[in-house]
Chains A and B, each alone.
Chain A
């Protein structure tokens, strides 16, 4: 099972609903930063959205302190365009209900 990395955009198999969904979680969630396990100090928000690229359907999601859905969604959309089909295919194939692949992209702090 993967470890939470804040602001790191993750690639997963397509979720049930295609549109952007947001889930809020309370403070105190363990996450990893610079190989150190820390705990979140505030609410975090999980943004997730499905995309299609060629014949590949996939989900991008990110967990962050940022609570501006429009800004986050635009960044997810931009990352979806940058991803290669081979990378998407491999990540989707390797996905399980509990595991996913982090991309090299992270949310830009604005």
Chain B
């Protein structure tokens, strides 16, 4: 959104002031400058300069997104969705997320999708020796997907994890 620059920024007046013709022209010029500022009319018009949260920050992406928000220490919060095709089952597996300068992060959302029918399961299972697990650190997203007992041991799956993080 363009900033409004008044042609006469020091034009100072109050009601009942006796103004000259030149001063009236200056006031009109200022009003015209304000009216000439084009305001955003749809969400896609919003940019970082507008002070509003850009529409792109609300989307999910496998690329890093600046969410436009900050953590309690003032650092920017970034978002990234990781997709792991055919994730390993029945073993804790590390997936290198490749985020340089990773400082603090958390897993916003994580689930597996059965590709045959798009069924979704979250990773919150524990039974006997079978359990699901998710962990995030500076290098890896670590996960464990159950195999037997969970019933999806033969299914073809995709794993999705949306993480949010700050950088040092």
Residues of A participating in the B interface, judged by any CB pair closer than 8 Å: 1-2, 4, 10, 12, 15-17, 21, 23, 25-26, 29, 46, 48, 59, 61, 63, 97-100
Contact = CB atoms under 8 A, between A and B. Distances in A.
B98 interface: no
Interface residues on B, range: 10 to 19
Interface in B1-19: 9-18
Ranked 10 nearest A-B pairs via Cβ: A25-B18, A17-B12, A61-B14, A48-B14, A21-B12, A16-B12, A100-B15, A98-B15, A4-B16, A23-B17
Nearest to A59: B14
Contacts of B13: 15-16, 23
Contacts of A10: 14-15
Contacts, number: 39
Contacts of A99: 15
Contacts of A29: 18
A97 B13 CA distance: 9
Contacts of B12: 15-17, 21, 48
A100 B14 contact: yes
B19 to A, nearest CB: 9
Contacts of A46: 14, 16-17
